[in-house]
Amino acid sequence: MTANTVVGVPAETAGGERRVALVPKVVERLLAKNLSVVVEPGAGAAALIPDDAYVHSGATLGDPWSADVVVKVAVPTDAEVAKLRAGAVFVGFLAPLTQPGKADALRAAGVTAFAMESIPRISRAQSMDALSSQANVAGYRAALLAAEHLTRFFPMLTTAAGTVPPAKVLVLGVGVAGLQALATARRLGAHTTGYDVRPEVADQVRSVGAQWLDLGIEATGSGGYARALTDDEREEQQRQLARAITGFDAVITTAQVPGRTAPTLVTAEAVKGMRAGSVVVDLAGESGGNCELTSPGLVVVEHAVTIASPLNLPATMPEHASELYARNVAALLELFITADGAIALDFSDEVVAGACVTGQEA
């Protein structure tokens, strides 16, 4: 590709998707690298970013699909893949483990595609880690949802009518989303406890002021994720969790294994044992859910317990979610950019090679 590479930013078309792949501040950052940016009119509208803000930042309004590099948030539709020109670079979420056909379609279109969820989890790539940036948003929102649906106060209150004890919140799965949920729930005044099958995260749980629930089951996997449990481990985990969960007012679950159905952590029996008015917020709904009674995308009440399983929580806070995602995208693009603004893909770089799902090296 020649200098003055053009980066295209299309409007998101997925239902409920309010984020946009680049925000004006990040457009300015890319222009400083000798790139040009074309934004589809209205691309930022759902994130409350007017077209004028993009123009003021130096972008132009027009057709983004003919650009050298197209950046997106949601997985592109087949119709959107057809708009990409052969030889283009695509950057966005691609769900390569659950939607492998999308990579095949991009490959057939002659597009070199980079999946944001495939960024290697190494220290050098932290600024590009969109899974983590968006998980922070999801964890924050999950704690707010738990407080909203709970029929009791989160903080301890001392009033003339007496003292109300703080809510007890349990977070199952303490990756980025879980830690943020713990931290946010504690800021709201709740008494917080975290659980994970990876014992090495216990200190992280304590660092946000939460207690650690130790069930004696360990399942550390690769890439910072937990491995799938054996049948015996799963049975023992569910038995111990069912007993522990009954002592909490709100349970937030975030446990997922990439490319697999989410593990069941909260059984129907555990929900039945919870106090009436309690809440389960299940962030694993897109992969089946961590709660046996979850209805993905819905809020239901079972045994007088509210079970919420929101999908795509980051899209419900589009301003900061877009800003963080745009920084992730820019950090990745900067690996591709030469001093004169040309794109040079160096597949000897483990980040470039790891994120690429189509192309010569994928």
Q: Which residues are catalytic?
A: 121, 126, 129, 132, 225
Closest CA to 88 of 67, 115, 61, 62: 67
Alpha helices in the chain (DSSP H): 24-31, 51-57, 78-83, 100-108, 130-149, 176-187, 202-207, 231-245, 268-273, 318-336, 350-355
Q: In what order do the strands lie in the sheet containing 191-195?
A: 211-212, 191-195, 168-172, 250-253, 279-282, 305-308, 299-302
Q: How far apart are CA 204 and CA 206, in angstroms?
A: 5
Q: How far apart are CA 131 and CA 51, in angstroms?
A: 27
Closest CA to 134 of 263, 326, 291: 326
Q: How far apart are CA 274 and CA 153, in angstroms?
A: 16
Q: How far apart are CA 35 and CA 342, in angstroms?
A: 8
Q: Are the C-beta atoms of residues 293 and 264 closer than 8 Å to each other?
A: no
